[in-house]
Amino acid sequence: MSLNGFLEFFHQGRTFRPKKRFTSGTIRYSLHKQAQASLQSGINLRQVVRLPEGEILNDWLAVHVVDFFNRINLIYGTVSEYCNDATCPTMSGGSRYEYLWVDGTLYKKPTALPAKKYIELLMEWIETQINNEAVFPVSSDVPFPKTYPGLTRKILTRLFRVFVHVYIHHFDRIVSIGAEAHVNACYKHFYYFVQEFELISTKELEPLHDMTSRICKD
């Protein structure tokens, strides 16, 4: 499918949580528009994810964290009514992988949860990080904290787990609504981005290794 069709899909439909938007006139907004324009131009996705010349890596990471948060929200929103305590009693990716939730506040120890509850808490947690200007500064006058690179890795690693769950447990629903090509395109964009900046460990990527090998060839 075309990248234009991919973008149209991700500008409509219901999201699991409200979309986050960039403030017009900010550096982050400009980078977001630049990234969207690159996607629409049909440039190879491996090239799209590369840091534009002269730009700051942390800003580029922030733009993509928000964009992927929005897109994965939409993807999960298309299957969420089929993901419940009965169908998905654990947050898993098949029988080999189970993810436990811990946030240091409500869940101080790794806890097994139904997939929908896990993803709900995950999206709330990411939204809190994005909205915290001490963590995701809006103004270029405010520096990113030293903890920012590690937080970015943690956010993207946890978002990847949503891909794992959707692909392994709900892909029949994705196919039934004709969204397979859209979801695959989003996954490829995400995968090339995290690979470009080494943001997710090989071990975490293992659940989708075979599928990734098939669809990420360009």
Domain boundaries, the chain: 3-215
Count Cα neighbours of 48 within 13 Å in the Cβ-side half-sphere: 26
Distances (CA, A) of 25 to 28, 33, 167, 186: 8, 11, 37, 26
Rounded average pLDDT over 155-167: 97
pLDDT in tens, 48-79: 899 988 888 998 998 899 889 988 998 999 89
Confidence at residue 42, expressed as pLDDT on a 0 to 100 scale:
56
Pick from 78, 76, 122: nearest CA to 99: 122
Query: CA-to-CA distance for 216 and 218, rounded, in angstroms?
Result: 6
Q: Has 88 been labeled as part of a binding site?
A: yes
Query: CA-to-CA distance for 95 and 213, rounded, in angstroms?
Result: 21
Cβ proximity of 67 and 35 under 8 Å: yes
pLDDT winner (highest mean) among 16-20, 116-120, 172-176:
116-120
Which residue(s) pair with 101 in the sheet?
A: 111
Superfamily of domain 3-215: MOB kinase activator (1.20.140.30)
Residue 27: pLDDT over 50? no
Amino acid found at 39? L
Q: Has 170 been labeled as part of a binding site?
A: yes
Confidence at residue 139, expressed as pLDDT on a 0 to 100 scale:
75
What is this structure's pTM?
0.84
Q: Has 216 been labeled as part of a binding site?
A: no
- The DSSP line for the chain is --HHHHHHHTTSS--SSPPP-PPTTSHHHHHHHHHHHHHHTT--HHHHTSPPTT--HHHHHHHHHHHHHHHHHHHHHTTGGG-STTT-SS-BSSSS-B--B--SSS--S-B---HHHHHHHHHHHHHHHHH-TTTS-SSTTSPPPTTHHHHHHHHHHHHHHHHHHHHHHSHHHHHHTT-HHHHHHHHHHHHHHHHHTT-S-HHHHGGGHHHHHHH---
Q: How confident is the model at residue 88 (pLDDT cuts 50, 70, 90)?
A: very high
